[in-house]
Amino acid sequence: TVTLAIGMHRMAQHRAIVKKLAAVETLGCTTVICSDKTGTLTVNQMTARALFFHGRRFVVSGEGYGSTGEIEAANGGSLPDLNAMLYPAVLANDSRIRDTQLIGDPTEGALLALAAKGGIDIDRLTIARPRIAEIPFDSSHKFQASFHHVGDKVWVYVKGAPDVLLLRATRQLSPAGEVALEEGVWIQENERLAAAAMRVLVLAVKIIPAADFDPTTDLMSYATDLTLVGLVGIIDPPRPEARDAIALCGQAGIQVKMITGDHRVTAAAIAAELGLRGEVLEGRELDAMGQQELAARIDHIAVFARVAPEHKVRIVKVL
């Protein structure tokens, strides 16, 4: 007890407060730390940095959740009407910004700030297109859909993971209107943004005749045959102190593993910046592995990407 109390006192001098003596012993025998990425290894202050719309690339300036900043064409060309892309960013969204302060999810806040930079009056738009139903975001399906009554139509606005919504889409929006989906182009742009350590969201729409919409049925049945509108690349920079903490853990013989729901390429890019070295494994690859195979490889894996909660439990049990 005296030894643990001395350890607790020394830790307090380093601004680490321990309430239970036994926790000092637990910390002393720690060999692996499994950490989430967003808000733990990164600052969790999302800012939209890049867009892909109408087959063109755009860059976004400005920081945080204010409206200061601009959307510009990456090649210096003219700026098209971005409303078709910004409407889903605002309406498939449960957060709000008040006086540059975010109320809600940081990723959604980045989308709202993007829309404000694009000249959207967010409050007016949400009143003009009232929500009548929604499919909330869930880690199992990785997208959110919001249903809005406009005249004799119901507009479905969707935001979510590109790899998931690509499977639910059949068309894409072009300057000439809706055309057949060119899946390879979207995959290439998604990987380009993810390689730059950005979290990538795809925005999509669907129009349903109001007479054919029944909010009492399974709403997931409407989240098919979508039209992809654009991609948004959102940056969440690593915490400056996280790299030092990871290096210190390494010196102490403690492995650090990043476990995240983000895209494989994005997670790998952030891990490289933080000094995490090792393999990158996705949740679907975990599903295909037996316990013994995972146990044999797990010491060499530094990043687990695209994981669900049940994957996290399995990882910890194998460790």
Closest CA to 63 of 14, 21, 102: 102
Residue partners of 64: CB distance under 8 A and separation at least 6 = 45, 47, 100, 113
Alpha-carbon separation of residue 127 from 67, 105, 110 (angstroms): 20, 21, 21
Q: At what angle do helices 83-91 and 106-117 cross, to 10 degrees?
A: 150
- For 230, half-sphere exposure in the C-beta direction (CA atoms, 13 angstrom radius) is 24
Q: Of 36, 81, 121, 225, which is the active-site residue?
A: 36
Residue partners of 97: CB distance under 8 A and separation at least 6 = 65, 103, 109, 112, 113, 116, 122
- Give the integer Cα–Cα distance in Å for 207 and 223: 11
Query: Do 233 and 262 contact (CB within 8 A), yes or no?
Result: no
36 has catalytic annotation: yes
- Give the integer Cα–Cα distance in Å for 92 and 158: 6
∠ CA 88-176-60, nearest 5°, is 45
Query: Do 144 and 159 contact (CB within 8 A), yes or no?
Result: yes
Residue 128, judged by CB atoms within 10 A of its CB (0-12, 13-18, 19+), counts as: exposed
- Give the integer Cα–Cα distance in Å for 89 and 112: 7
Q: Which amino acid is at 17?
A: I
User: What are the catalytic residues?
Assistant: 36
